[in-house]
Amino acid sequence: MSAIIQLNNDFEGIKSLLVYKKSTGRVLTDLAESLLVGPSPLDRVERETIAAYVSYLNNCDYCFKAHCAIVQDFSSNEMDIPTMFASPDTSSASEKVKVLLKIAKEIQEGSTGLPEELVDRARRVGLCDESIHDTVLIASAFCMYNRYVDGLKVKLPQKERYNVLAKHLKNGYK
């Protein structure tokens, strides 16, 4: 499948869109770099997991597979991400990750404000205000990234290319 607009490049996934319109491409790349790699009390795997989870909830195949591959590349153990995402509350994920995913889902579903009990739960598992902020911003941004990729129906990489992509992005998004 090819994109519904003429991108005039041979790149796959979101990169084809970032290259197509360089002015917005730079801004979106800088945002991803800041959210997923820049300073945060959340580690890189936690932030990539949030991105993958929101993409899973939004049925964005490209972003889900890409960010799962990054999580797997950073993780020392094989995580069963689809099982964890299908039922986060009963998964073997840490309480912290379960809360991060709960916050992300609340935002993905269009929350007009996090429930007070969820914020209290986040604080009980050790999340600070900046961690809560970063989770909300990552979830919000990935709703946009997912719609951008799927809305223009970008060309998807072959399955084995996601691991190559993950290795390339291990050092950042710029």
pLDDT range class, residue 80, cuts 50, 70, 90: confident
| Residue 8 DSSP SS3 | coil
pLDDT range class, residue 160, cuts 50, 70, 90: confident
Q: Which residue has the higher pLDDT, 3 or 70?
A: 70
Look at residues 115, 108, 105, 94 and name the one whose alpha carbon lies nearest to residue 147: 108
Indicate the pTM of the whole model: 0.94
Residue 127 lies in a domain: yes
Instruction: Give the pair of three-digit tokens for residue 103.
Output: 């916050």
Q: What is the pLDDT of residues 47-56, one digit of tens each?
A: 999 999 999 9
Domain with 144 in it? 13-169
Which pLDDT does position 37 carry in this prediction?
A: 97
Residue 3 lies in a domain: no
67: CATH? 1.20.1290.10
Residue 75 lies in a domain: yes
DSSP 127: -
Residue type, 171: N
Into how many domains does the chain fold?
Answer: 1
Residue 2 lies in a domain: no
Q: Give the C-alpha distances (Å, rounded to integers) separating 46 from 18, 94, 99, 152, 156.
A: 25, 11, 11, 28, 25
Residue 83 lies in a domain: yes
Q: Is the pLDDT of residue 137 over 70?
A: yes
CB 128 within 8 A of CB 41: yes
pLDDT range class, residue 76, cuts 50, 70, 90: low
Residue 174 lies in a domain: no
| Residue 109 DSSP SS3 | coil
